[in-house]
């Protein structure tokens, strides 16, 4: 533990995408329900432009802008070691994007910012640019690798770190947590109920409602910024949307920054308040009010679609996706602001970081004292094709499927190759639809070796895993993660039990 309780830190952000001052010709009056000014993005304004990342919808081409996208950088230095946490308004951080950012940082700063002490996190908006991946599965819907998307992302993330690097000053960190209701639901309740009853009884709800806040101040107690985590999918802007948007998490950040930086323009504020993506998101969506069924305008509160699944789109609490974005973002903002104001538990101690590449196809996981299992190559099942309440899939696949379909299995096998017996046995009882872990043409379809990272600041540990979504009660995945984290924590000699 340090003899002093303060850290050198700074928080700042930079707009991700190069913009012009021309208002979007595609804006409609009700879009102005969100206060941020709307501008065209030169790399993304035209119809038929780059695909958006999130819904895997090949028709979701960017055609205007709803809210700007930002990168916010947080640097913490204890006098000996330094860590960087960046949260960017994108769907996720790809390995390729991360490596390009690290290369740019190495050219500027040498070994000061490295793969072990720089964490990049996406807010998980489903309405940002695509085209910055190196795996086929993620490139299909965005029409491949798009340099016009990648370079602005790299430039914006690096610029936010540059600004933070140039403005380091002594400060303190405080932690607080609470719960936020009426802002999230389980987006696959049918699948959730397939978890064993004794497992479900361990939890009060079928979603994680905790909000965790880290409050940053200078030595005089004046606010510098805040990091706040809340487990909700950034899908208030549903899959019918064609506008670039930071969604509910980005709007919450905007509200916090306008509150704490009165009179400042977005992107020009003195401090950053932000909502990075949470660790438990994949089964938690923005709160559902109804489905809109396009052919009949029929509404239902059921978690199942009553017609062709692609004809249904889930809505949040508002009358449209713009109002839902505002409501959910406002709820997150208000709770984070409350926790920020009442945060008194100071975070003290040293700063540590570690990184390791993990082959996720070959991890041995002890289930108990007598039983050990092993991971295997990735594959997508029939339930993947069913989608969720945020937006259904094609061809009426259903959630929770444990049996395949000879017709679709035959077509997928003939076109893409059949899974090996080893892979089928490993994934059982999940029926495999797309055997992505064994598909390598034109490039590998699915990552197998992934980044595993941890940053520790005093008693706070941030675990970073590239492009992964967890459900509330998938214990086997949690065990895998804990196993990987224990390995890298051993590298920095910090007991896991001391961290939260």
Domain containing residue 13:
1-17+365-446
Would you say residue 43 lies in a domain?
A: no
Q: Tell me, yes or no, whether 439 and 484 share the same domain.
A: no
Residue 287 DSSP class: P
Question: Final residue of a domain: which of 446, 464, 482?
Answer: 446
Q: What is the pLDDT of residue 282?
A: 43
Q: What is the rounded CA–CA span in Å between residue 6 and residue 139? A: 44
Q: What is the rounded CA–CA span in Å between residue 226 and residue 77? A: 16
Residue 223's nearest CA partner among 280, 265, 169 is 169
Q: Tell me, yes or no, whether 171 and 117 share the same domain.
A: yes
| pLDDT tens sequence across 81-117 | 999 999 999 999 999 999 999 999 999 999 999 999 9
Q: Tell me, yes or no, whether 201 and 296 share the same domain.
A: yes
Q: Tell me, yes or no, whether 247 and 108 share the same domain.
A: yes
Q: Tell me, yes or no, whether 272 and 139 share the same domain.
A: yes
Number of domains in the chain: 2
Percentage helix, strand, coil for the chain under 3-state DSSP, each rounded to 5? 25, 25, 45
Q: What is the pLDDT of residue 157?
A: 94
Q: What is the pLDDT of residue 251?
A: 93
Q: Tell me, yes or no, whether 250 and 380 share the same domain.
A: no
Q: Tell me, yes or no, whether 255 and 323 share the same domain.
A: yes
Q: Which parts of the chain sit beneath pLDDT 70?
A: 1-50, 267-273, 275-315, 388-394, 396, 466-500
Q: What is the pLDDT of residue 206?
A: 86
Q: What is the pLDDT of residue 364?
A: 87
| pLDDT tens sequence across 186-236 | 877 777 887 889 888 888 888 889 999 999 999 999 888 899 999 888 889
Would you say residue 370 lies in a domain?
A: yes
Q: Tell me if 234 sits within 8 A of 271, measured CB to CB.
A: no
Q: What is the rounded CA–CA span in Å between residue 318 and residue 329? A: 12
Would you say residue 28 lies in a domain?
A: no
Q: Tell me, yes or no, whether 381 and 353 share the same domain.
A: no
Q: What is the rounded CA–CA span in Å between residue 157 and residue 71? A: 5
Question: Final residue of a domain: which of 407, 431, 446?
Answer: 446
Q: What is the rounded CA–CA span in Å between residue 470 and residue 262? A: 37
Residue ranges of the binding site: 124, 233, 469
φ/ψ (deg, to 5) at 345: -80, 105
Q: Tell me, yes or no, whether 348 and 427 share the same domain.
A: no
Residue 236: active-site member: no
Residue ranges of the binding site for Zn(2+): 124, 233, 469
Would you say residue 48 lies in a domain?
A: no
Q: Tell me, yes or no, whether 1 and 94 share the same domain.
A: no
Would you say residue 50 lies in a domain?
A: no
Q: What is the rounded CA–CA span in Å between residue 283 and residue 301? A: 17
Would you say residue 76 lies in a domain?
A: yes
Can you give the C-alpha Rg of the chain in angstroms? 22
Q: Tell me, yes or no, whether 320 and 460 share the same domain.
A: yes
Q: Tell me, yes or no, whether 347 and 375 share the same domain.
A: no
Would you say residue 26 lies in a domain?
A: no
Q: What is the pLDDT of residue 402?
A: 86
Would you say residue 30 lies in a domain?
A: no
Choose the catalytic residue: 285, 303, 324, 383: 285
pTM metric for this prediction: 0.83
Instruction: Give the strands of the sheet with 449-457, arranged side by side.
Output: 351-359, 449-457, 460-465
Question: Final residue of a domain: which of 431, 446, 461?
Answer: 446
Runs of H (alpha helix) within 213-350:
247-260, 321-342
């Amino acid at each position: 533990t340090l003899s002093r309780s303060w850290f050198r830190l700074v928080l700042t952000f930079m707009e991700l995408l190069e913009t012009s001052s021309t208002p979007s010709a595609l804006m409609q009056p009700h879009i102005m329900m969100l206060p941020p000014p709307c501008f065209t993005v030169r790399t993304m304004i035209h119809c038929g432009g780059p695909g958006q990342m999130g819904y895997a919808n090949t028709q979701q081409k960017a055609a205007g802008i709803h809210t700007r996208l930002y990168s916010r950088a947080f640097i913490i230095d204890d006098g000996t070691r330094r860590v960087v946490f960046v949260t960017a308004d994108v769907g996720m951080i790809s390995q390729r994007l991360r490596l390009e950012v690290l290369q740019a940082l190495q050219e500027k700063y040498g070994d000061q910012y490295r793969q072990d002490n720089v964490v990049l996190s996406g807010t998980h908006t489903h309405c940002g640019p695509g085209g910055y991946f190196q795996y086929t599965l993620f490139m299909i819907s965005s029409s491949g690798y798009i340099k016009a998307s990648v370079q602005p992302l790299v430039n914006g993330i690096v610029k936010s770190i540059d600004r933070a690097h140039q403005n380091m000053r002594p400060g303190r960190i405080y932690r607080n947590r609470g719960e936020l209701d009426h802002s999230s639901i389980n987006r696959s309740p049918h699948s959730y109920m397939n978890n064993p009853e004794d497992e479900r009884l361990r939890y009060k709800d079928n979603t994680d409602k905790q909000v965790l806040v880290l409050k940053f101040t200078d030595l005089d107690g004046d606010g510098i910024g805040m990091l706040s985590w809340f487990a909700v999918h950034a899908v208030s802007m549903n899959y019918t949307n064609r506008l670039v948007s930071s969604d509910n998490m980005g709007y919450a950040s905007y509200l916090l920054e306008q509150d704490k930086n009165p009179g400042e323009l977005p992107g020009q504020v003195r401090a950053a308040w932000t909502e990075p993506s949470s660790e438990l998101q994949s089964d938690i969506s923005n709160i559902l009010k109804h489905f809109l069924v396009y052919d009949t305008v029929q509404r239902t509160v059921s978690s199942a679609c009553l017609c062709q699944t692609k004809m249904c789109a889930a809505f949040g609490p508002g009358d449209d996706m713009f109002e839902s974005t505002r409501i959910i973002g406002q709820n997150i903002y208000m709770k984070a602001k409350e926790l920020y104001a009442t945060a008194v538990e100071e975070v003290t101690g040293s700063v540590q970081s570690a990184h390791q590449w993990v082959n996720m196809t070959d991890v041995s996981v002890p289930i108990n004292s007598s039983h050990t299992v092993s991971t295997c190559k990735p594959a997508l099942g029939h339930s993947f094709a069913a989608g969720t309440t945020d937006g259904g899939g094609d061809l009426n696949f259903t959630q929770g499927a444990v049996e395949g379909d000879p017709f679709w299995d035959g077509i997928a096998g003939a076109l893409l190759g059949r899974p090996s017996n080893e892979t089928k046995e490993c994934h059982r009882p999940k029926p495999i639809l797309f055997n992505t872990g064994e598909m390598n043409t034109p490039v590998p379809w699915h990552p197998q070796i992934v980044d595993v990272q941890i940053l520790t600041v005093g008693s706070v540990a941030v675990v970073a895993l590239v492009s992964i979504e967890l459900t509330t009660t998938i214990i086997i995945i949690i065990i895998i993660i804990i196993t990987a984290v224990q390995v890298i924590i051993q590298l920095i000699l910090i007991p896991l039990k001391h961290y939260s």
